[in-house]
Structure 1
Amino acid sequence: MEPYRTHPPRRTPPDHSHRRRPLRPSPARDRARWVLPQLVGEVRYTSRTHAGRLRHPSWHRLRPDLAPDDVT
């Protein structure tokens, strides 16, 4: 029987969060952690509700060909 192998410890990712609320009006979240975008992902959805929320959202893929500044 092969002994149990452990993976080397993962590096802790840098903390890119901050407490400043970038949205106006701010959502009612006292303990929210806001982060700066570093990756772009593609999400597909069927439609939007009257309130502007996505209906049936699902993750599609990561988009390494786009930078956050290209889409925001």
Structure 2
Amino acid sequence: MRDLAAMAGARKQLPEFAKDEVAALLATISTLANDPARLASLRRRTLVEQDIELIDGSDCPLCDSPWERD
């Protein structure tokens, strides 16, 4: 019964648990939604970071074409 009472008390605190983090996240989402250029930049950066992790051979991980050599 004590465990159930403790869980019930903890449940009441959940809405306040990450209130500041949720507010910060919502502000960031709003910023991105209101600035298409910033959102596009973030998407490009994410794509490049993922592609860099995939570089392991002589072909581009994005387009599967051979790297140009001078």
> Would you call these one fold, judging by a TM-score over 0.5?
no
Say which structure is richer in strand: 1
Q: Which has the higher contact order (CA 8 A, sep 6+)?
A: 1
Higher gyration radius (CA): 2
TM-score after normalising by structure 1: 0.27
Say which structure is richer in helix: 2
TM-score after normalising by structure 2: 0.27
